[in-house]
């Protein structure tokens, strides 16, 4: 137990100092280096599958943008059966396309996005944004100003997710924290770094750069489409940016654990490249890094083993301290940082369930579709 606790402590010190400062929440939209004289054209593309519950909030937020240049909104109604198509008639300014059932080799969201991009014509930029994302006033202007002023081909924001229910407060901040641990934003934003990531809920992409990278065809079967998009763009020399959002919020509710479980499990094993060796390493790694510190702390207290107690408690303290900035970003009490081991255990179970579903032939399931 002492060896495990010491290893966990060393890992947490290393992660804190040498993992791209992943735990900090100050990676936001940067100030533009140059002013925008001629505002480029933008087309907003929204894939929507059974989104009647959120579109009355999110579509008006897009139409109300005070963008100085030409822009329009396209919604790709991806075979919705909940009245989404009828709802969209409320907004005659919105262009609606119906992509039909996706080709067998395409992921459904990307198939819908492809239809919207095709309808967009020759716009200078495409804002790919999910149906549940509410854009605050000035969002589109800020995104374009940063892209134009800093010569960026992709400007992506990790939208602030909802944290209203108990399960949302427990799981959501940790979800973003762990994403940043996997893909440190600072590393992703370096042009020559191998790390590449984006947030599919809000990604402004230069159309010329997307075409140079092969368009959405290049990632047509990706379950984790945002990360895949950032990767193909960086491979072709594009400059990308990813940060936490100040102007974009998700309004999608996750009222119970089952809904959050489905959201995470659908892509967790794909994140591990569906590789059982990587899965095994992840299970061991999560157990050592997140579970050992509190277990060692309790064991040290019970057995009065001071070295075990000190190493376990210090590792747990460092872990909680790195989580506190994300909790503050989401307006949650800092003491919740000490619950991270419990949340990480939940994520471990979700990852194992994602692998189980894959080997049962169910693949990644979402809104009535399953991807092998």
| Domain extents in the chain | 2-21+259-358, 42-254
- pLDDT value of residue 318: 98
Compute the average pLDDT of residues 337-360. 95
Q: Which CATH architecture describes the domain 42-254?
A: Alpha-Beta Complex (3.90)
Q: Using an 8 Å Cβ cutoff, are 58 and 132 in contact? A: yes
pLDDT at 371 over 80: no
CA-to-CA distance for 54 and 367, rounded, in angstroms?
15
What residues does 134 pair with on adjacent strands? 249
The SS3 call for residue 178 is: helix
Pairing of β 202-206 and β 133-135: unpaired
pLDDT at 368 over 90: no
- pLDDT value of residue 281: 96
pLDDT at 160 over 70: yes
pLDDT at 361 over 90: no
CA-to-CA distance for 294 and 309, rounded, in angstroms?
9
Q: What's the predicted TM-score (pTM) here?
A: 0.95
Neighbours of 32 (CB within 10 A): 17
pLDDT at 187 over 70: yes
Q: How confident is the model at residue 366 (pLDDT cuts 50, 70, 90)?
A: low
3-state DSSP percent of the chain in helix, strand and coil, to 5: 50, 15, 35
For tokens 């969002």, what's the residue?
139
- pLDDT value of residue 372: 58
- pLDDT value of residue 273: 86
CA-to-CA distance for 363 and 87, rounded, in angstroms?
31
CA-to-CA distance for 1 and 7, rounded, in angstroms?
10
Longest dimension (CA), the chain: 71
Lowest mean pLDDT among 147-151, 221-225, 313-317: 221-225
pLDDT at 184 over 70: yes
Tell me the average pLDDT of the chain: 95
């Amino acid at each position: 137990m002492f060896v495990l606790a010491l290893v966990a402590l060393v890992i947490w010190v290393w992660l804190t100092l040498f993992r791209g400062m992943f735990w900090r929440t100050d990676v936001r939209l940067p100030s533009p280096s140059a002013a925008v004289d001629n505002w480029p054209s933008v087309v907003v593309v929204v894939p929507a599958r059974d989104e009647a519950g959120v579109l009355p909030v999110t579509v008006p937020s897009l139409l109300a943008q005070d963008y100085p240049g030409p822009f329009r909104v396209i919604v790709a109604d991806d075979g919705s059966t909940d009245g989404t198509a009828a709802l969209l008639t409320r907004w005659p300014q919105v262009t609606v396309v119906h992509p039909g059932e996706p080709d067998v080799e395409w992921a459904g969201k990307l198939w819908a996005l492809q239809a919207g991009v095709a309808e967009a014509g020759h716009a200078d930029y495409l804002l790919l944004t999910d149906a549940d994302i509410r854009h605050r006033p000035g969002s589109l202007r800020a995104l374009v100003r940063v892209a134009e002023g800093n010569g960026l081909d992709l400007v992506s924001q990790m939208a602030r997710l909802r944290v209203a229910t108990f399960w949302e407060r427990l799981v959501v901040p940790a979800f973003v924290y762990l994403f940043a641990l996997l893909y440190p934003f600072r590393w992703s934003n370096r042009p020559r770094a191998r790390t590449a990531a984006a947030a599919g809920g809000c990604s402004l992409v230069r159309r010329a750069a997307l075409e140079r990278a092969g368009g959405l065809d290049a990632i047509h079967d990706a379950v984790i489409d945002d990360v895949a998009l950032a990767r193909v763009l960086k491979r072709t020399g594009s400059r990308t940016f990813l940060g936490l959002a100040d102007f974009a919020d998700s309004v999608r509710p996750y009222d119970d654990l089952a809904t959050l479980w489905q959201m995470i499990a659908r892509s967790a094993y794909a994140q591990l490249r569906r590789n059982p060796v990587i899965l095994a390493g992840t299970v061991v790694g999560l157990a050592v890094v997140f579970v050992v510190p509190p277990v060692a702390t309790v064991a040290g207290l019970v057995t009065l083993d001071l070295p075990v107690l000190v190493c376990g408690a210090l590792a747990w303290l460092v872990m909680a301290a790195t989580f506190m900035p994300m909790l503050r970003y989401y307006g949650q009490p800092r003491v919740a940082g000490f619950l991270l081991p419990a949340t990480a255990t939940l994520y471990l179970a979700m990852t194992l369930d994602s692998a189980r579903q894959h080997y049962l032939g169910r693949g990644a399931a979402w809104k009535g579709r399953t991807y092998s």
